[in-house]
Chains A and B, each alone.
Chain A
C-alpha cells in the first residue's frame, strides 16, 4: 500500500474503533425513523416535488427575492447585510456585537461554522457560548461537529459524562442523559441571561415578510432570540424562499427527513425585531413589559461562493439543500465512520461534497470524495430530490483533473483513454476501464486468473494499484456469455415468441459471472421470450468509468451503448439487464450523458431481469417452467441502486409468487459498491458497512440471494457461504447446450 493509502486506511481504522459504533447506532436510528415517519405521509412524493419546485424557483429568482427581503426586513425596522465572504460576514457581526457588549449566546448554525465566526468573535474579546446541547458538548470538548444536525452524534452519553465530570467542578458525578441535560440547561441559562447578543442561524427566510424560520427541539433558539435585546441571524443566501405559505412542504418534511421525528418541538417563525419584550436580567425585578430599550435586529446573508455555485450546472442543486442530514444517515459509509472521515472543512456526508466544493474549494471536497460509492441510497431520502451521487461524480471528475502529475506508467497506460488525465489514480484507471481488462482476462483465461491470483501479482496490485490482497479477485471465464450464446442460439422461435429481448451482456456477466447470464436466458425463454445475446451489444454501459468520476469516458461508452442497442430497439426488442448498476446508469445518468430523446427511448425500453420476469408473469405468461420454491426460506439483499430505482419489490414479488419465503435485508448498501471494497484503503470500512448483513443473515443457513455482482462477492465474504443472483434460483435447470 502506498503511504497515502496507508494513512487513509489508518485514519478510517481509528474512527471505526473510536466513534464508529456510536455513529452507527445514531445514524441508523435516524434512518429507520425516516422510513417510519415518511411511510405515514400519504403524499410524500408530492411534498418532495413541491419543496423542490419552491427551491428551484427561489434560486432562479434569488437576486430579486433578496431585494424583496431587504424591503421587508427594513420595513420591520431591522437591517439586512449581504456578506461576500466569511471575512466580510465576520467583520460585520463583530462590529454589531462589540458595539453592544462582549457576550454572545448562539443557537446551532452550520453557516457560522463555515464562517468560523466563533473564532473571529473570540479574537475580538467576545465570549461565545453555544446553546444547542450537542454544540455545547463540542465546545467544551474543543471538537468539530461530525454531523449536520447531530453535531455530537459521535459521542456516547458515557463519553459526555466523563467530559463534564472532568471539565467541571461537580459535587457529584453526572451519569444519566437526564442528569447531563439538566446540568447543561442550568449552566447555559446563566449564559443566556447574561448575554448581550443572541445569534441564530435560519433554516428558511421568507422574502415577503422578513420572517426567519428556525427548527429546533430544545428551545435554545427561542431563548437566544428572546432574551437579549439584540438578535443577529446569519444564514446562506440560498435559504430565502418567496412567501410564508411556501414553508408548508418544508415544515412537513424536515423533521421526518432529519431524525424521523414527525415534527420537531419548535418551529420558530420569527419576524424580528420581535414584539416580545427582551428579558433583561440586569433589571431582574422590573416587569419585563416595562423594557424601555426596544430591540435591534440584523440579518446577515452569506454568499461565500454561493453565487458562483448558482452559475455552475453541476453544483447548483446543492443550493436546494435544507441541511436535514438524511443523505448522511442513509449512507452506508457515513454510518460506519461518521463526519470526521466523511467531511471537509465544515460539511460532512452526502451533500457535503457540493457544499465543500462550492464554499471551500475542490481540495477540501477531494479529501473525502472517494467515500461516496455512488450507491444512490441518499437519492430517495433527500426531501428536495437532489441528485447527490451526480454531484459527487462531477466533483470526482474535477478532482481527477486537479492533480495531473503526468507520470507515465506502462502497467496501466494502455487502459487509459486519451481524454482522461495521465495523472489519474491507478486504481481509478483500473476499475474505470474494467471492460478492457475483462476482454484480456477472458481471452487469456485461465492464465490470466493464475497470474492475477499469484502471490507476486497480488503484491504488485496492492503495492502499485491499491487492490486489497484480502479480496478474492473476479475469475475470468474463457467462454464468454456471447460465445456460449453464439454456439447455442435461441430456443424460442420468433413465430411463437411472446416478446423479443436482448439480454445485455454487461462486462461482468459476459466475462466473469457467465452462469447468471445463462440462467437469465433460460428463465426468459421459459416465459416464452425470444432472447438474443448479440456480440455487438457486449459494450460497457459507462457505469465503471462513472464510478471513478471519468465522465467523458462514460459519455463515450453511453454513446457506444446507444449505437449498439438502437438497431435492436428498432426491431421491437426490449433490453433486459442483469446488473442493476448498469440499469441505473441507463435510467439515471444517461439523462446527463445523452440527448433527451435517446435517454428516454433507452430508459423506457430497458428492464432489470427480475422486473422483466415480474412483468411477463403479471401479463399472463405461464411460470410453470420456472423453478418453484416449495416454501424454501431465502435471504435476499437487494442492490442499492436497484432499490433506488424502486425495483427491489419486483424480485421479492417473483420469488414469493414462486413459493419462496423471502427475508429481505434492511441494510442500505452491502459495502462493496462495485470497486470500492476492492481498494486496499477501504477494505476494512467496506467490511464494516456490511456488518449488519452478517448480523441479520449470519448463521441462519438459508440460501443467500443478491442482485448485484459485487453484492454477491461481499455477501460471500461476510457470510462464508455461497450467494447467487435470484435469476439463477428460478431458472429451469436444463442443459446449457
Chain B
C-alpha cells in the first residue's frame, strides 16, 4: 500500500479516536508487551502473542479481560476502519468484550475505500463469512453527550505492521513510543492504569 494511503489511514483512525502504532514486524512483540494489560484474551494467527494473552478463552475470561488482541484482515484508509472477519476461534468476542481492543493490521492490507473493502468481502460473505467494519471505539450519545465506551471497547489501538517502518526516521516503531498508549478520552482511567 502506498505511503499516502497509510498516512491517510493513520489520520482517519486517529480522527475516530483510535491510536495507531507504526511498527516493523520485529517490533510487534515488544509493542504488544507494552500495550497488553492483563488479564487479556486474543486470537492472532501469524503473530506471537505475549504469554499473558489467553488464546482459547472461556466466557469468564472474556468477561474479566481488560485487553483483547485480534488481527484485522483489512484497513480502510478513508475512515481508519478495521475489517474484523469472524472465525471459529473467539476473535469476534475478543475484539468486543474487553475495554481495550488491540488490532494488528499489516500495511499491505490497507485499502483506500469502503468500496475496495466490499470488493474483497463480497466473495467471502457469499461464502458464508461475516465481518465487522469497526471504526474507533464503541460510542453512544444516548445519555446526553458523546461517551466513548458503550457496549464495546472504550479504547482501540491499531498496531500497523510493515517493513517500511524500519527505514523511516521518527516513526512510531520504537517500544518507548508504543508504551505510551495515548488516552483516547477524558475519562481514560483504564488507559492510565497502563503505566
Q: Which residues of A contact B (CB under 8 A)?
A: 72, 76, 131-134, 137, 150, 152, 155-158, 160, 177-178, 180-182, 184-185, 188-189, 193, 206, 208-209, 211, 217-220, 222-223, 226, 243-245, 247-248, 251-252, 259, 262-272, 274-277, 279-281, 283-289
Contact = CB atoms under 8 A, between A and B. Distances in A.
B39 interface: no
A263 B57 CA distance: 31
B142 A150 contact: yes
Contacts of B150: 133, 181, 185, 217-220
B137 interface: yes
Contacts of B92: 222, 226, 274, 276
Contact of B151 (A157, A180, A219, A276): A219
B143 A157 contact: yes
B88 A265 contact: no
A279 B68 CA distance: 15
B9 to A, nearest CB: 13
B46 interface: no
A276 B142 contact: no
A186 to B, nearest CB: 10
B5 interface: no
Contacts of A150: 141-142
Interface stretch (B25-33, B111-119, B166-174, B175-183): B111-119
A267 B93 contact: no
Which 9 pairs, one residue from A and one from B, show the smallest C-beta to C-beta distance? A157-B144, A219-B152, A134-B142, A218-B150, A219-B151, A177-B143, A267-B133, A219-B138, A133-B142
Most buried by A among B58, B81, B91, B140: B140
A38 to B, nearest CB: 14
A180 B129 contact: no
B79 A263 contact: yes
A209 B88 contact: no
A209 B126 contact: yes
B56 A289 contact: yes
Nearest to B133: A267
Nearest to B90: A288
Interface string B79-98: 10100001111111100100
B64 to A, nearest CB: 10
B120 to A, nearest CB: 10
Q: Interface residue tally of chain B, by bracket? A: 35 or more
A277 B90 contact: yes
Given A209-B126, A244-B126, A245-B122, A132 B142 contact: yes
Most buried by A among B91, B119, B142, B145: B142
A289 to B, nearest CB: 6
B143 A219 contact: no
Interface in B1-56: 16, 56
Given A157-B144, A276-B86, A276-B90, A271 B57 contact: no
Contact of B86 (A158, A259, A275, A280): A275
Given A275-B86, A276-B87, A268 B132 contact: yes
A647 to B, nearest CB: 32
A233 B8 CA distance: 36
A218 B57 contact: no
Interface in B130-173: 130-145, 147, 149-153
